[in-house]
Structure 1
Amino acid sequence: MKIIIIEDETLVAEDLYSTLMQIKPDIELQAVLSSVSESIEYFSNHPQPDLIFSDIQLGDGLSFQIFSHIEINVPIVFCTAFDDYAIEAFQTNGIDYILKPYDKNVLDKAIQKYSLLKTALAKDVIQQYDAVMKVLDSYKLQETGTFMIKHRDRYLPVGLDKIAMFYLEDEVCRLYLFSGKIYFIPDTLEEVESKIGSNFFRANRQFLINKEAVLEALEYFPRKLKLQLKLSFDKEIIVSKEKKTKLLKWLNDV
Protein backbone atom coordinates (compact mmCIF):
# COMPACT_ATOMS: atom_id res chain seq x y z
CA MET A 1 0.00 0.00 0.00
CA LYS A 2 1.40 3.36 -1.04
CA ILE A 3 0.62 6.33 1.17
CA ILE A 4 1.24 10.06 1.25
CA ILE A 5 1.39 12.09 4.46
CA ILE A 6 0.49 15.77 4.33
CA GLU A 7 1.80 17.33 7.54
CA ASP A 8 3.81 20.49 8.24
CA GLU A 9 5.40 19.19 11.45
CA THR A 10 8.32 16.87 10.66
CA LEU A 11 8.26 15.07 14.01
CA VAL A 12 4.50 14.50 13.79
CA ALA A 13 4.85 13.09 10.28
CA GLU A 14 7.66 10.78 11.40
CA ASP A 15 5.62 9.59 14.38
CA LEU A 16 2.61 8.88 12.17
CA TYR A 17 4.70 6.94 9.65
CA SER A 18 6.45 4.96 12.42
CA THR A 19 3.10 3.96 13.93
CA LEU A 20 1.71 2.98 10.53
CA MET A 21 4.77 0.80 9.89
CA GLN A 22 4.11 -1.06 13.13
CA ILE A 23 0.59 -1.80 11.93
CA LYS A 24 1.40 -2.60 8.32
CA PRO A 25 5.14 -3.12 7.62
CA ASP A 26 4.67 -3.27 3.84
CA ILE A 27 3.42 0.33 3.68
CA GLU A 28 5.41 2.39 1.19
CA LEU A 29 5.71 6.09 1.95
CA GLN A 30 5.43 7.83 -1.40
CA ALA A 31 5.96 11.37 -0.10
CA VAL A 32 5.66 13.70 2.87
CA LEU A 33 4.20 17.05 1.84
CA SER A 34 4.27 20.03 4.16
CA SER A 35 2.06 22.70 2.60
CA VAL A 36 -0.92 23.39 0.37
CA SER A 37 1.26 24.77 -2.42
CA GLU A 38 3.74 21.89 -2.30
CA SER A 39 0.90 19.35 -2.35
CA ILE A 40 -0.82 20.94 -5.33
CA GLU A 41 2.44 20.94 -7.25
CA TYR A 42 3.19 17.33 -6.28
CA PHE A 43 -0.22 15.92 -7.24
CA SER A 44 -0.08 17.81 -10.52
CA ASN A 45 3.04 15.89 -11.53
CA HIS A 46 2.97 12.55 -9.72
CA PRO A 47 0.69 9.50 -9.52
CA GLN A 48 -1.73 9.28 -6.61
CA PRO A 49 -1.11 6.80 -3.78
CA ASP A 50 -3.53 4.26 -2.38
CA LEU A 51 -4.28 6.31 0.73
CA ILE A 52 -3.62 9.84 1.99
CA PHE A 53 -3.20 10.96 5.59
CA SER A 54 -3.69 14.71 5.69
CA ASP A 55 -3.43 17.25 8.48
CA ILE A 56 -6.14 19.90 8.20
CA GLN A 57 -4.29 23.02 9.30
CA LEU A 58 -1.13 23.66 7.31
CA GLY A 59 1.15 26.67 7.40
CA ASP A 60 -0.30 28.20 4.25
CA GLY A 61 -3.95 27.21 4.62
CA LEU A 62 -6.40 24.35 5.09
CA SER A 63 -5.64 21.09 3.31
CA PHE A 64 -9.13 21.16 1.75
CA GLN A 65 -7.71 23.77 -0.62
CA ILE A 66 -5.48 21.07 -2.12
CA PHE A 67 -8.41 18.87 -3.00
CA SER A 68 -10.36 21.80 -4.40
CA HIS A 69 -7.58 22.33 -6.94
CA ILE A 70 -6.66 18.69 -7.64
CA GLU A 71 -9.09 15.86 -8.34
CA ILE A 72 -8.18 13.14 -5.88
CA ASN A 73 -9.52 9.67 -6.56
CA VAL A 74 -8.28 7.92 -3.44
CA PRO A 75 -9.58 8.00 0.15
CA ILE A 76 -8.24 10.52 2.61
CA VAL A 77 -7.92 10.22 6.37
CA PHE A 78 -8.03 13.71 7.85
CA CYS A 79 -5.98 14.28 10.99
CA THR A 80 -7.28 16.97 13.29
CA ALA A 81 -7.00 18.51 16.72
CA PHE A 82 -10.38 20.28 16.47
CA ASP A 83 -12.79 19.68 19.32
CA ASP A 84 -16.25 18.09 19.26
CA TYR A 85 -18.01 21.00 17.56
CA ALA A 86 -15.85 20.77 14.44
CA ILE A 87 -15.74 16.98 14.55
CA GLU A 88 -19.53 16.94 14.34
CA ALA A 89 -19.24 18.90 11.11
CA PHE A 90 -16.97 16.26 9.62
CA GLN A 91 -19.36 13.50 10.61
CA THR A 92 -22.32 15.37 9.17
CA ASN A 93 -20.56 15.83 5.86
CA GLY A 94 -19.35 12.24 5.65
CA ILE A 95 -15.61 12.90 5.88
CA ASP A 96 -13.63 10.52 8.08
CA TYR A 97 -10.97 11.66 10.50
CA ILE A 98 -8.60 10.66 13.29
CA LEU A 99 -7.74 12.80 16.28
CA LYS A 100 -4.28 13.92 17.29
CA PRO A 101 -2.26 12.61 19.06
CA TYR A 102 -2.38 9.43 16.99
CA ASP A 103 -3.67 6.22 18.50
CA LYS A 104 -2.35 2.94 17.07
CA ASN A 105 -5.70 1.14 17.32
CA VAL A 106 -7.54 3.96 15.56
CA LEU A 107 -4.94 4.02 12.78
CA ASP A 108 -5.26 0.25 12.41
CA LYS A 109 -9.03 0.51 11.99
CA ALA A 110 -8.62 3.34 9.48
CA ILE A 111 -6.30 1.26 7.31
CA GLN A 112 -8.61 -1.74 7.43
CA LYS A 113 -11.63 0.37 6.57
CA TYR A 114 -10.03 2.17 3.67
CA SER A 115 -8.50 -1.00 2.27
CA LEU A 116 -11.92 -2.60 2.12
CA LEU A 117 -13.92 0.40 0.94
CA LYS A 118 -11.40 2.33 -1.13
CA THR A 119 -13.60 3.09 -4.13
CA ALA A 120 -16.82 3.64 -2.22
CA LEU A 121 -15.28 6.04 0.29
CA ALA A 122 -13.50 8.08 -2.36
CA LYS A 123 -16.68 8.63 -4.39
CA ASP A 124 -18.11 12.14 -4.32
CA VAL A 125 -15.90 13.24 -1.41
CA ILE A 126 -14.64 16.30 -3.31
CA GLN A 127 -18.14 17.79 -3.41
CA GLN A 128 -18.19 17.68 0.39
CA TYR A 129 -15.14 19.90 0.99
CA ASP A 130 -16.93 23.19 0.42
CA ALA A 131 -19.59 22.32 2.98
CA VAL A 132 -17.00 21.45 5.62
CA MET A 133 -14.93 24.54 4.89
CA LYS A 134 -17.99 26.72 5.43
CA VAL A 135 -18.50 25.12 8.82
CA LEU A 136 -14.86 25.70 9.76
CA ASP A 137 -15.02 29.31 8.57
CA SER A 138 -17.99 29.90 10.86
CA TYR A 139 -16.32 28.09 13.74
CA LYS A 140 -16.59 30.59 16.60
CA LEU A 141 -14.55 30.30 19.75
CA GLN A 142 -17.38 31.78 21.78
CA GLU A 143 -19.50 28.73 20.90
CA THR A 144 -16.92 26.24 22.15
CA GLY A 145 -15.37 28.28 24.95
CA THR A 146 -11.88 27.15 23.93
CA PHE A 147 -8.92 28.48 22.01
CA MET A 148 -6.63 25.97 20.31
CA ILE A 149 -2.91 26.66 20.69
CA LYS A 150 0.02 24.80 19.21
CA HIS A 151 2.86 24.14 21.67
CA ARG A 152 5.84 22.24 20.28
CA ASP A 153 4.31 19.16 18.66
CA ARG A 154 1.04 19.26 20.56
CA TYR A 155 -2.30 21.02 20.16
CA LEU A 156 -3.73 22.28 23.44
CA PRO A 157 -7.30 23.46 23.95
CA VAL A 158 -7.36 26.39 26.40
CA GLY A 159 -10.57 27.69 27.94
CA LEU A 160 -11.24 31.35 27.18
CA ASP A 161 -11.82 31.88 30.89
CA LYS A 162 -8.16 30.90 31.43
CA ILE A 163 -6.88 33.60 29.06
CA ALA A 164 -6.16 37.02 30.57
CA MET A 165 -5.28 38.68 27.27
CA PHE A 166 -3.91 38.46 23.79
CA TYR A 167 -1.22 41.02 23.01
CA LEU A 168 1.25 42.04 20.35
CA GLU A 169 4.96 42.44 21.07
CA ASP A 170 7.68 42.79 18.42
CA GLU A 171 4.93 42.15 15.85
CA VAL A 172 4.34 38.68 17.33
CA CYS A 173 0.97 37.78 18.84
CA ARG A 174 1.05 36.21 22.30
CA LEU A 175 -1.50 34.61 24.58
CA TYR A 176 -1.17 35.37 28.31
CA LEU A 177 -2.90 33.02 30.76
CA PHE A 178 -4.07 33.96 34.25
CA SER A 179 -1.56 31.37 35.46
CA GLY A 180 1.24 33.54 34.10
CA LYS A 181 2.17 31.31 31.17
CA ILE A 182 2.69 32.92 27.77
CA TYR A 183 2.31 31.22 24.40
CA PHE A 184 3.18 32.49 20.94
CA ILE A 185 0.33 32.12 18.46
CA PRO A 186 0.33 32.49 14.64
CA ASP A 187 -2.94 34.46 14.52
CA THR A 188 -3.13 38.21 14.23
CA LEU A 189 -5.05 40.16 16.87
CA GLU A 190 -7.63 40.94 14.20
CA GLU A 191 -8.14 37.23 13.54
CA VAL A 192 -8.45 36.46 17.25
CA GLU A 193 -10.85 39.36 17.81
CA SER A 194 -13.13 38.11 15.03
CA LYS A 195 -13.49 34.74 16.74
CA ILE A 196 -13.76 35.35 20.46
CA GLY A 197 -16.75 36.58 22.41
CA SER A 198 -17.73 39.90 23.94
CA ASN A 199 -15.87 39.18 27.18
CA PHE A 200 -12.74 40.50 25.45
CA PHE A 201 -12.12 44.14 24.55
CA ARG A 202 -9.65 45.55 22.00
CA ALA A 203 -8.05 48.21 24.18
CA ASN A 204 -5.72 49.40 21.44
CA ARG A 205 -3.60 48.08 18.59
CA GLN A 206 -1.56 45.89 20.96
CA PHE A 207 -4.00 44.53 23.54
CA LEU A 208 -7.13 42.37 23.58
CA ILE A 209 -8.18 42.08 27.22
CA ASN A 210 -10.42 39.68 29.13
CA LYS A 211 -12.89 41.57 31.32
CA GLU A 212 -12.04 39.28 34.22
CA ALA A 213 -8.42 40.47 34.06
CA VAL A 214 -9.32 44.14 34.63
CA LEU A 215 -8.96 45.43 38.18
CA GLU A 216 -9.85 49.07 37.44
CA ALA A 217 -9.70 51.81 34.84
CA LEU A 218 -7.86 55.00 35.83
CA GLU A 219 -8.10 58.46 34.33
CA TYR A 220 -5.02 59.12 32.22
CA PHE A 221 -3.98 62.44 30.67
CA PRO A 222 -5.36 63.68 28.35
CA ARG A 223 -8.88 62.19 28.54
CA LYS A 224 -7.64 58.63 28.19
CA LEU A 225 -7.89 55.62 30.46
CA LYS A 226 -5.22 53.35 31.85
CA LEU A 227 -6.13 49.78 32.70
CA GLN A 228 -4.88 48.17 35.88
CA LEU A 229 -4.89 44.38 35.76
CA LYS A 230 -5.43 41.79 38.46
CA LEU A 231 -2.24 40.06 37.41
CA SER A 232 1.36 41.15 37.14
CA PHE A 233 2.13 42.78 33.79
CA ASP A 234 4.88 45.31 33.16
CA LYS A 235 3.40 47.11 30.16
CA GLU A 236 0.98 50.02 30.22
CA ILE A 237 -2.41 49.45 28.61
CA ILE A 238 -3.78 52.79 27.48
CA VAL A 239 -7.25 53.26 26.02
CA SER A 240 -7.75 56.25 23.72
CA LYS A 241 -10.34 58.96 24.34
CA GLU A 242 -12.22 57.65 21.28
CA LYS A 243 -12.60 54.23 22.92
CA LYS A 244 -13.11 55.49 26.45
CA THR A 245 -16.93 55.51 26.43
CA LYS A 246 -17.09 52.11 24.76
CA LEU A 247 -14.70 50.62 27.32
CA LEU A 248 -16.67 51.95 30.29
CA LYS A 249 -19.90 50.58 28.85
CA TRP A 250 -18.19 47.19 28.28
CA LEU A 251 -16.96 47.10 31.87
CA ASN A 252 -20.47 47.92 33.18
CA ASP A 253 -22.27 45.35 31.05
CA VAL A 254 -23.07 42.17 32.95
Structure 2
Amino acid sequence: MEIIIVEDEKPAARRLQRMLTKLNLEANTLLHSVSQGISWFRENPEPDLVFLDIQLSDGISFEIFEEVKINSAIIFTTAYDEYALKAFKLNSVDYLLKPIDEDDLENAVKKFQENYRNNSPQIDINTFRKILETGSKPAYKTRFSIQVGQHIKIVSTNEVCCFYSENKATYLTTTFGRNYLLDISLENLEKEINPGNFFRINRKSIVNIDFIEDIISYTNNRLEVKLNPSSEFQLVVSRERVKDFKKWISEA
Protein backbone atom coordinates (compact mmCIF):
# COMPACT_ATOMS: atom_id res chain seq x y z
CA MET A 1 0.00 0.00 0.00
CA GLU A 2 1.37 3.40 -1.02
CA ILE A 3 1.08 6.02 1.73
CA ILE A 4 2.30 9.62 1.74
CA ILE A 5 2.36 12.28 4.46
CA VAL A 6 1.80 15.98 3.70
CA GLU A 7 2.85 17.92 6.81
CA ASP A 8 4.86 21.14 7.06
CA GLU A 9 6.25 20.38 10.53
CA LYS A 10 9.05 17.92 9.79
CA PRO A 11 9.27 16.51 13.36
CA ALA A 12 5.50 15.86 13.29
CA ALA A 13 5.81 14.18 9.89
CA ARG A 14 8.61 11.91 11.10
CA ARG A 15 6.67 11.07 14.27
CA LEU A 16 3.64 10.03 12.21
CA GLN A 17 5.93 8.01 9.96
CA ARG A 18 7.29 6.14 12.99
CA MET A 19 3.77 5.53 14.32
CA LEU A 20 2.74 4.01 11.00
CA THR A 21 5.81 1.77 11.06
CA LYS A 22 4.56 0.34 14.36
CA LEU A 23 1.38 -0.62 12.47
CA ASN A 24 3.52 -2.37 9.83
CA LEU A 25 2.82 0.39 7.31
CA GLU A 26 5.38 2.41 5.39
CA ALA A 27 5.11 6.06 4.42
CA ASN A 28 8.28 6.64 2.44
CA THR A 29 7.21 9.99 0.96
CA LEU A 30 7.06 13.09 3.16
CA LEU A 31 5.90 16.38 1.60
CA HIS A 32 6.05 19.67 3.46
CA SER A 33 4.31 22.31 1.33
CA VAL A 34 1.60 22.96 -1.22
CA SER A 35 4.19 23.44 -3.96
CA GLN A 36 5.90 20.13 -3.13
CA GLY A 37 2.53 18.38 -3.12
CA ILE A 38 1.53 19.72 -6.55
CA SER A 39 4.88 18.71 -8.07
CA TRP A 40 4.83 15.25 -6.52
CA PHE A 41 1.25 14.39 -7.54
CA ARG A 42 1.90 15.57 -11.09
CA GLU A 43 4.92 13.29 -11.43
CA ASN A 44 3.83 10.17 -9.51
CA PRO A 45 0.95 7.67 -9.51
CA GLU A 46 -1.76 8.36 -6.95
CA PRO A 47 -1.09 6.75 -3.56
CA ASP A 48 -3.69 4.63 -1.77
CA LEU A 49 -3.79 6.88 1.28
CA VAL A 50 -2.76 10.45 2.11
CA PHE A 51 -2.25 11.87 5.59
CA LEU A 52 -2.95 15.55 5.00
CA ASP A 53 -2.32 18.54 7.24
CA ILE A 54 -4.69 21.39 6.41
CA GLN A 55 -2.50 24.42 7.06
CA LEU A 56 0.87 24.19 5.32
CA SER A 57 3.73 26.68 5.32
CA ASP A 58 2.82 28.12 1.92
CA GLY A 59 -0.97 27.85 1.98
CA ILE A 60 -3.99 25.60 2.55
CA SER A 61 -3.37 22.01 1.48
CA PHE A 62 -6.63 21.93 -0.51
CA GLU A 63 -4.86 24.12 -3.06
CA ILE A 64 -3.07 20.94 -4.16
CA PHE A 65 -6.39 19.46 -5.31
CA GLU A 66 -7.23 22.58 -7.28
CA GLU A 67 -4.15 21.97 -9.42
CA VAL A 68 -4.11 18.17 -9.57
CA LYS A 69 -7.00 15.69 -9.62
CA ILE A 70 -6.50 13.21 -6.79
CA ASN A 71 -8.73 10.26 -5.94
CA SER A 72 -6.69 8.96 -3.02
CA ALA A 73 -8.32 8.40 0.35
CA ILE A 74 -7.59 11.20 2.83
CA ILE A 75 -7.01 11.20 6.58
CA PHE A 76 -6.71 14.75 7.87
CA THR A 77 -4.19 15.64 10.56
CA THR A 78 -5.30 18.93 11.98
CA ALA A 79 -5.68 21.29 14.91
CA TYR A 80 -8.97 22.73 13.66
CA ASP A 81 -12.02 22.82 15.89
CA GLU A 82 -14.71 20.19 16.27
CA TYR A 83 -17.30 22.01 14.16
CA ALA A 84 -15.08 21.88 11.10
CA LEU A 85 -13.94 18.34 11.77
CA LYS A 86 -17.50 17.05 11.50
CA ALA A 87 -17.64 18.37 7.96
CA PHE A 88 -14.15 17.10 7.12
CA LYS A 89 -15.19 13.63 8.20
CA LEU A 90 -18.02 13.57 5.66
CA ASN A 91 -15.51 13.93 2.83
CA SER A 92 -12.56 11.92 4.11
CA VAL A 93 -11.71 8.62 5.70
CA ASP A 94 -11.24 10.26 9.09
CA TYR A 95 -9.44 13.05 10.91
CA LEU A 96 -6.71 12.95 13.56
CA LEU A 97 -6.52 15.82 16.01
CA LYS A 98 -2.96 16.89 16.82
CA PRO A 99 -1.02 15.72 18.72
CA ILE A 100 -1.89 12.40 17.12
CA ASP A 101 -2.78 9.55 19.47
CA GLU A 102 -1.55 6.07 18.53
CA ASP A 103 -4.93 4.40 19.16
CA ASP A 104 -6.73 7.03 17.07
CA LEU A 105 -4.24 6.47 14.25
CA GLU A 106 -4.72 2.71 14.37
CA ASN A 107 -8.52 3.08 14.28
CA ALA A 108 -8.36 5.48 11.33
CA VAL A 109 -6.13 3.09 9.37
CA LYS A 110 -8.46 0.18 10.13
CA LYS A 111 -11.41 2.23 8.94
CA PHE A 112 -9.58 2.91 5.68
CA GLN A 113 -8.64 -0.73 5.21
CA GLU A 114 -12.17 -1.95 5.88
CA ASN A 115 -14.28 0.62 4.06
CA TYR A 116 -12.36 2.87 1.71
CA ARG A 117 -9.56 0.96 0.09
CA ASN A 118 -11.44 0.35 -3.12
CA ASN A 119 -13.87 3.25 -2.91
CA SER A 120 -12.02 6.48 -2.19
CA PRO A 121 -14.28 9.45 -1.35
CA GLN A 122 -14.15 12.58 -3.46
CA ILE A 123 -12.89 15.83 -1.96
CA ASP A 124 -15.28 18.76 -2.27
CA ILE A 125 -12.88 21.72 -2.35
CA ASN A 126 -15.58 24.40 -2.30
CA THR A 127 -17.21 22.88 0.77
CA PHE A 128 -13.93 22.84 2.65
CA ARG A 129 -13.10 26.41 1.72
CA LYS A 130 -16.51 27.60 2.93
CA ILE A 131 -16.02 25.81 6.24
CA LEU A 132 -12.57 27.31 6.70
CA GLU A 133 -13.86 30.81 6.00
CA THR A 134 -16.97 30.69 8.18
CA GLY A 135 -16.42 28.59 11.22
CA SER A 136 -13.20 26.70 11.56
CA LYS A 137 -10.54 29.13 12.66
CA PRO A 138 -8.17 27.54 15.17
CA ALA A 139 -8.68 28.57 18.78
CA TYR A 140 -5.77 30.59 20.12
CA LYS A 141 -4.50 30.50 23.68
CA THR A 142 -6.09 33.03 25.99
CA ARG A 143 -4.05 32.24 29.11
CA PHE A 144 -1.03 30.35 30.44
CA SER A 145 -0.73 28.34 33.64
CA ILE A 146 2.76 28.69 35.11
CA GLN A 147 4.36 26.78 37.96
CA VAL A 148 5.90 29.19 40.47
CA GLY A 149 7.36 27.20 43.34
CA GLN A 150 4.45 25.35 44.91
CA HIS A 151 1.91 27.64 43.27
CA ILE A 152 0.33 27.80 39.83
CA LYS A 153 -0.05 31.28 38.40
CA ILE A 154 -2.52 32.10 35.63
CA VAL A 155 -1.41 34.74 33.14
CA SER A 156 -3.81 36.04 30.49
CA THR A 157 -2.39 36.64 27.02
CA ASN A 158 -3.70 40.21 27.39
CA GLU A 159 -1.10 40.69 30.12
CA VAL A 160 1.82 39.48 27.98
CA CYS A 161 4.06 42.20 26.50
CA CYS A 162 6.39 39.81 24.74
CA PHE A 163 7.78 36.29 24.57
CA TYR A 164 11.49 35.60 24.20
CA SER A 165 13.96 32.73 24.16
CA GLU A 166 17.21 32.63 26.07
CA ASN A 167 19.61 29.73 26.67
CA LYS A 168 17.21 27.36 24.86
CA ALA A 169 14.34 28.30 27.20
CA THR A 170 11.18 30.32 26.47
CA TYR A 171 9.86 33.12 28.69
CA LEU A 172 6.98 35.55 28.75
CA THR A 173 7.11 39.09 30.14
CA THR A 174 4.01 40.55 31.79
CA THR A 175 2.74 44.12 32.02
CA PHE A 176 4.08 44.12 35.58
CA GLY A 177 7.62 43.45 34.36
CA ARG A 178 7.70 39.86 35.61
CA ASN A 179 9.32 37.10 33.56
CA TYR A 180 8.00 33.54 33.66
CA LEU A 181 9.42 30.35 32.21
CA LEU A 182 7.22 28.45 29.73
CA ASP A 183 7.40 24.77 28.88
CA ILE A 184 7.16 25.27 25.10
CA SER A 185 9.47 26.28 22.27
CA LEU A 186 9.08 29.67 20.63
CA GLU A 187 8.30 27.90 17.33
CA ASN A 188 5.37 25.96 18.79
CA LEU A 189 4.22 28.91 20.86
CA GLU A 190 3.98 31.06 17.71
CA LYS A 191 1.32 28.68 16.35
CA GLU A 192 -0.80 28.85 19.51
CA ILE A 193 -1.12 32.62 19.93
CA ASN A 194 -3.25 35.03 17.92
CA PRO A 195 -1.22 36.43 14.98
CA GLY A 196 -3.42 39.51 15.04
CA ASN A 197 -1.96 40.43 18.44
CA PHE A 198 1.48 38.84 18.37
CA PHE A 199 4.30 39.00 15.83
CA ARG A 200 7.66 37.25 15.79
CA ILE A 201 10.08 40.07 15.08
CA ASN A 202 13.21 37.92 15.05
CA ARG A 203 14.46 34.46 15.89
CA LYS A 204 14.24 35.08 19.63
CA SER A 205 11.35 37.49 20.23
CA ILE A 206 7.58 37.82 19.80
CA VAL A 207 5.89 41.13 20.68
CA ASN A 208 2.31 42.11 21.54
CA ILE A 209 1.01 45.02 19.41
CA ASP A 210 -0.97 46.41 22.36
CA PHE A 211 2.26 47.30 24.17
CA ILE A 212 4.28 48.80 21.32
CA GLU A 213 5.05 52.40 22.32
CA ASP A 214 7.49 53.37 19.59
CA ILE A 215 9.12 52.01 16.44
CA ILE A 216 12.50 53.46 15.46
CA SER A 217 14.61 53.11 12.32
CA TYR A 218 17.66 50.96 13.02
CA THR A 219 20.83 49.97 11.18
CA ASN A 220 20.76 47.80 8.02
CA ASN A 221 17.14 48.67 7.21
CA ARG A 222 15.89 47.15 10.44
CA LEU A 223 13.49 48.52 13.05
CA GLU A 224 13.77 48.77 16.81
CA VAL A 225 10.59 48.22 18.84
CA LYS A 226 10.04 49.96 22.16
CA LEU A 227 7.47 48.47 24.52
CA ASN A 228 5.58 49.98 27.43
CA PRO A 229 6.46 48.74 29.97
CA SER A 230 9.98 48.68 28.55
CA SER A 231 11.79 45.43 27.88
CA GLU A 232 15.02 44.46 29.65
CA PHE A 233 16.63 43.75 26.29
CA GLN A 234 16.70 45.33 22.86
CA LEU A 235 13.94 44.30 20.46
CA VAL A 236 14.99 44.61 16.81
CA VAL A 237 12.93 43.47 13.84
CA SER A 238 15.18 41.36 11.63
CA ARG A 239 15.64 42.68 8.10
CA GLU A 240 13.79 39.79 6.45
CA ARG A 241 10.75 40.38 8.70
CA VAL A 242 10.48 44.15 8.34
CA LYS A 243 8.09 44.07 5.37
CA ASP A 244 5.71 41.64 7.09
CA PHE A 245 6.00 43.57 10.34
CA LYS A 246 4.94 46.82 8.66
CA LYS A 247 2.00 45.03 7.09
CA TRP A 248 1.08 43.49 10.44
CA ILE A 249 1.02 46.77 12.36
CA SER A 250 -1.18 48.26 9.63
CA GLU A 251 -3.71 45.42 9.59
CA ALA A 252 -3.70 44.05 13.14
Say yes or no: TM over 0.5.
Answer: yes
For 1:146 and 1:85, the matched residues in 2 are separated by: 18
Pair 1:100-2:98 in alignment: yes
What are the ranges of 5 or more consecutive residues in structure 2 without an aligned counterpart?
143-153, 165-170, 199-206, 214-225, 235-252
Unaligned 5+ runs, structure 1:
148-158, 170-174, 196-205, 218-225, 237-254
- Change beyond 3 A, Cα 1:207–1:162: closer
Q: What aligned pairs does 1:197-236 form with structure 2 within 5 A after superposition?
A: 208-209=209-210, 228-229=228-229, 233-234=231-232
Aligned match of 1:77 in 68, 75, 78? 75
1:90 maps to which of 81, 88, 91 = 88
In structure 2, the CA distance between the partners of 1:89 and 1:166, relative to structure 1 (3 Å rule), is farther
Q: State whether residues 167 and 208 of structure 1, in contact with CA within 8 Å, keep that contact through their aligned partners in structure 2.
A: no
Aligned to 2:128: 132
TM-score (norm 2): 0.58
Amino acid at match of 1:146: K
Give how far 1:78 is off. Answer: 0.7
Match runs of 1:91-170 below 5 Å: 91=89, 94-95=91-92, 96-118=94-116, 122-125=120-123, 127=124, 129-138=125-134, 144=139, 146=141, 161-164=156-159
Larger C-alpha radius of gyration, 1 or 2? 1
Deviations 1:120-141 (A, max 9, x none): 763332x2x3222233234587
Cα distance change, pair 140–162 in 1 and its aligned pair in 2 (3 A): farther
* TM-score, normalization by structure 1: 0.58
Change (3 A) 1:87 1:63: same
Aligned with 2:63: secondary structure? Answer: helix
Match in the other structure for 1:2: 2
Which residue does 1:49 correspond to in 2?
47
User: How far apart are the structure 2 equivalents of 1:40 and 1:97?
Assistant: 22
Amino acid at match of 2:8: D
Q: CA deviation at 1:9?
A: 2.3
Distance (whole Å) between structure 2 residues aligned to residue 101 and residue 233 of structure 1: 34
> What's the CA shift string for 1:64-110, capped at 9, x where partnerless?
1112221111111110122335434535x544310111211111111
The 1:163–1:181 alpha-carbon spacing in structure 2 relative to 1, beyond 3 Å, is farther
Q: Which residue pairs with 2:195 in the alignment?
A: 192
Tell me the amino acid that sits aligned with residue 109 of structure 1.
N
C-alpha distance 121-8 of structure 1, shift in aligned 2 (>3 A)? same
Matched residue of 1:193: which SS? coil
